[in-house]
Every structure is written in structure tokens, then in C-alpha cells.
């Protein structure tokens, strides 16, 4: 399979192009901003203030490489104004309430952000006079999880036990509705908008400090010389380094520009079928890379429900996009843990080094 995930190839689509990124102050949003900067894109970001001062957005001083609008995705008028004045060639929608356990604390707000926010963005692009390719990022958790050892495909039934998963499944329905109602692929010449959704696995990487995510929890415990408490050690997830889906999104955006009708659909991005790890395997590998540390199970029978087994089928992305994972799970964990080791002043430069290394593989 030919390698399309190179700096040279992606630059042919993004260099000098206007790219609107929602949620660019977050973990994945900061990484896609960094990659787009290396590709030579003109970036406009729309998001809330970064939640963590030690995250990648602050570390790389992203406000110097992107026009940053601090605003809420639920502010429809402001969003329409910013999208309309920028007239982007591409849009990557990452703004979200992204945490399962937090969604139990703020269920209605989670639906408002993830569902209404997505509808607001798609409403904002309707008046745009120029061609635009839009990638809406959802999650691997949009599927009705049967807790069976099977790989979920894009054609499988959507669902969601917890408010986060259900809200992201609902966001997929919003994408489908807008695509069918206003941006049908067969009528591209009339509206000139192409919309795809991307469902990524459990993403790990440097710069993530979110509460109730395994890698940030591991790193905080290791830095404080504390025993790592693991909630669901036997749970299996499609772990992948953040650069895998980020570059997949960018490749999908490029494909939408090439052939809007062919690629306006949903795509899974995850590891190879035989490369799904349990939480305890992930934590053990993280400790090994760090060089010290211990973990113990901390199972709370009264804790909110979280999926126990989740795997993705990535055949469509491999066959139609020519996308393929470059890092196995062990490499993804090593790259992630190594990011947290450099001094704070080196983490931005190290992030760009990782991007260049990834795209050169």
C-alpha cells in the first residue's frame, strides 16, 4: 500500500489553504493545529479557553501560529460570523465534551455541546459560496456496544449507554441528516460542500491532562510517586497514538477535496485488528517505558457504566483512503510516555519532532 501520509503529499492539499478548526485548544485540536502548521495551512481556531496550562496548546504557544477565537460552539451567531468571514477550504470539527465520566455529571450539557454544537457548525456552512470539505470527529463509542469480541464497522447500528456515547451517536445522525437534506453528494455542483465523519479509537499522546483518562491519570501518579489506581484493568480498547487519527482526518479531508461524492461517509480510525490492548496491558507498558511505578486495581461496583470490550474495523479506511496505522500499540505508548519526560520548554519542539518522524515513516 502506497504511503500517502507524508509531509510532502499532505502539503499539496493544505499549504496556503484556509482551515477552520473547532476545539483547537483541546488535546486533539492542538495536535491537528500543529500538523496543519507544518503543512503550511492558514488556520483559524474556534474554541473555549484551554482547560490545562501544561497542555500542548499552551506549550507550543499556538496563538502565534493560528488565529484564535475564544467562543462557545453553542453560540450560533458568533460561529456563523467567524465561519462566514473566514470562508474556509476545510473544516475539522473537534469541539466537544469528550469524557464519558463527566457526561454522567453534566448529561444535558453534554448533549447540548455535542449535538447542538454539531448542528450549529453545519448550519454555519450552508451560506458559504465556495467549496468546502468538512470532517466531523465523533468517537469509536458511537456503536451499540454488544460487549462481544467483534470489530465494529461503519454500517453497524449506532447507540450509546452513557450520555457521552449517545450524544456522539446523535451527532452522527445530525451529520447524516444535514448531508441528505442540504449537502447530498449527488448534488455537489449545486452546494459544493462535502461532509464526512471520523470515528477514532481511544487516543493517547503527549499533552493530554484530562481528568478520568488513563494516560493522564498514569502520568500524574508517576510524577507524584503514587500507586496508579486502575478502574477497569480488563477493559479492552482500540488504543492509538494521537497522530494516527489526526493524520487520518487530514487524509480524509484531502480525499473529500478529490472526490466529494465518493468519500462523504463515515470512517473508522483505529489499530490493526490484532493490536487491541487491555487497560492493564497499557498501564504495564507505560510503567515499563517510564522506568518505575506500580499499579493496583481500584474497582468500584457503584461506578458509572463504562464499556468493557470495544474494537474497531478499519477496513474501509484502509481500502478506500489508503490509510494504515504506522505505530503499533507498544510504539504508541512509548511515544506518549516519552513526551511527558522532556522539560516543559522542550515539549513543543519535541511534539513537532514526533510529527516529522511520524510523517517520514
Q: How far apart are CA 111 and CA 1, in angstroms?
A: 39
- Neighbour-count burial of 354, counting CB atoms closer than 10 A to its CB (0-12 exposed, 13-18 middle, 19+ buried): buried
Cell of 259: 472526490
Helix (H, G, I), strand (E, B) or coil at 48: coil
What is the tens place of the pLDDT at every residue in 109-134? 999 999 999 999 999 999 999 999 99
Do the strands 236-237 and 277-278 form a parallel or antiparallel pair, or are they unpaired?
A: antiparallel
CATH number for the domain harbouring residue 152: 3.40.50.720
Backbone torsions φ then ψ of 277, nearest 5 degrees:
-115, 155
Q: Is residue 96 part of a domain?
A: yes
Task: Round to whole Å and give the CA distance between 337 and 218.
Answer: 10
Range of the domain at 36: 7-205+239-274+313-328
**Number of structural domains in the chain:** 1
Mean of pLDDT over the chain: 94
Q: What is the pTM of this model?
A: 0.96
DSSP 3-state assignment of 149?
A: coil
Backbone angles phi, psi at 68, to 5 degrees: -110, 125
On whether residue 20 sits in a domain, the answer given is yes
Contact 229, 221 (CB under 8 A): yes
- Whether residue 118 is contained in a domain is answered as yes
Q: How confident is the model at residue 342 (pLDDT cuts 50, 70, 90)?
A: confident
- Encode pLDDT of 131-156 as tens digits: 999 999 999 999 998 888 889 999 99
Kindly state the average pLDDT of the residues 248-276: 96
Amino acid at each position: 500500500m502506497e504511503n500517502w501520509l507524508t509531509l510532502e503529499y499532505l502539503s499539496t492539499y493544505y499549504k496556503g489553504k484556509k482551515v477552520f478548526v473547532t476545539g483547537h485548544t483541546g488535546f486533539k485540536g492542538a495536535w491537528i493545529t500543529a500538523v496543519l502548521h507544518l503543512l503550511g495551512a492558514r488556520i483559524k481556531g474556534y474554541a473555549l479557553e484551554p482547560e490545562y496550562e501544561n497542555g500542548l496548546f499552551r506549550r507550543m504557544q499556538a496563538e502565534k501560529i493560528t488565529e484564535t477565537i475564544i467562543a462557545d460552539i453553542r453560540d450560533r451567531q458568533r460561529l456563523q460570523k467567524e465561519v462566514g468571514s473566514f470562508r474556509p477550504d476545510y473544516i475539522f470539527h473537534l469541539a466537544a465534551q469528550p469524557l464519558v465520566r463527566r457526561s454522567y455529571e453534566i448529561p444535558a450539557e453534554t448533549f447540548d455541546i455535542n449535538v447542538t454544537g454539531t448542528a450549529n457548525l453545519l448550519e454555519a456552512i450552508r451560506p458559504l459560496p465556495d467549496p468546502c470539505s468538512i470532517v466531523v470527529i465523533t468517537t469509536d463509542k458511537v456503536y451499540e456496544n454488544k460487549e462481544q469480541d467483534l470489530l465494529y464497522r461503519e454500517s453497524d447500528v449506532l447507540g450509546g449507554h452513557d450520555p457521552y456515547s449517545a450524544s456522539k451517536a446523535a451527532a452522527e445522525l445530525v451529520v447524516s441528516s444535514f448531508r441528505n437534506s442540504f449537502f447530498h453528494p449527488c448534488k455537489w455542483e449545486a452546494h459544493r460542500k462535502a461532509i464526512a465523519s471520523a470515528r477514532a479509537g481511544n487516543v493517547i499522546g503527549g499533552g493530554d491532562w484530562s481528568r478520568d483518562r488513563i494516560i493522564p491519570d498514569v502520568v500524574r501518579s508517576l510524577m507524584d510517586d503514587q500507586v496508579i489506581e486502575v478502574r477497569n484493568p480488563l477493559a479492552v480498547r482500540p488504543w492509538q497514538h494521537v497522530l494516527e487519527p489526526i493524520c487520518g482526518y487530514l487524509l480524509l479531508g484531502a480525499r473529500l477535496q478529490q472526490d466529494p461524492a465518493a468519500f462523504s461517509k463515515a470512517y473508522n480510525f483505529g489499530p490493526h485488528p490484532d493490536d487491541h490492548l487491555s487497560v492493564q496491558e497499557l498501564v504495564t507498558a507505560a510503567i515499563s517505558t517510564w522506568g518505575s511505578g506500580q499499579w493496583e486495581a481500584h474497582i468500584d461496583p457503584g461506578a458509572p457504566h463504562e464499556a468493557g470490550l470495544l474494537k474497531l474495523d478499519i477496513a474501509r479506511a484502509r481500502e478506500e483512503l489508503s490509510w494504515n496505522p504506522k505505530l503499533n500499540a507498544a510504539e504508541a505508548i512509548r511515544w506518549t510516555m516519552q513526551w511527558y519526560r522532556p522539560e516543559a520548554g522542550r515539549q513543543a519542539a519535541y511534539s513537532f519532532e514526533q510529527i516529522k518522524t511520524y510523517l517520514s515513516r
